[in-house]
Amino acid sequence: MPLGIRPRLWPTLAAIAGIAVFVRLGFWQLHRAHQAQAQKDAYQARIKRTPMAPGGGLWDPAKLRFRRVAVSGRYDARHQILLDNQFSGANVGYDVLTPLRLAHSRFRVLVNRGWIPFNGDRAHPPAAPPPKGRQQVVGLVSVPGRYFRLGRPRPPYPWHTVWEYLDLKLYRRAAPFPVEPVVILLSPRSTGGYVRHWPPAGTKVAMYEGYAVQWFLFAFIVVVIFVVVNRPKHHDNK
């Protein structure tokens, strides 16, 4: 072997496995950075457009993601949910998601009306009644992703007010009405909402790139340690 290295089998296999894992994790983080950059580019291109009215049928998430929309309808307080463990600065609370029955449509769309603080009582979460009557809603379309979870989600019946994470597929299956496959983030300028500071898409590009550098560095460190540990030891004969 080069450099006079005479490693044993199992340490060699362990080193190869470690290097392979670290390199793969590095490329995975680079892939996430590329995805975040693509989201950022799409967000910046679409956010500047005039709000559109998607219509009353089933919406296409790919076409509407990061688009500003303007719709009207009536809020359904009965099937409103609170998304737990949401933060505004250092304060914990809930995001309030209320289905809006779209005018001239049988569909409803979840509207994230913003953040409310935790009231200190898990058994009795705070009330966040939506405004009554027909509402004009302007906001940004968000397409919720998949979330890591342990175990199976608890069933929604009887209807649970507080959800640990937003599983839109579960909500659509549980709701007794058709639901659009997106969420509208209510504009801070629109009435009927709470604290709203929606972060722009693609803000984690630098973070993912930093993680990638760390994983590649770990792989390099394994290589250096492997070489140093397995170099032959020279003894001076006097």
188 cis-preceded (ω within 30 degrees of 0): no
Q: Is the pTM of this model over 0.75?
A: no
More confident residue, 59 or 40: 59
Per-residue pLDDT reduced to its tens digit, 60-88:
999 998 899 999 999 999 999 999 999 99
Per-residue pLDDT reduced to its tens digit, 163-207:
988 889 989 988 999 999 999 999 999 999 999 998 887 677 888
Number of H helices, E strands in the chain: 4, 7
Let me know if 109 is exposed, middle or buried by CB neighbors in 10 A (0-12, 13-18, 19+). Answer: buried
Q: Where are the domains of the chain?
A: 2-38+205-230, 54-186
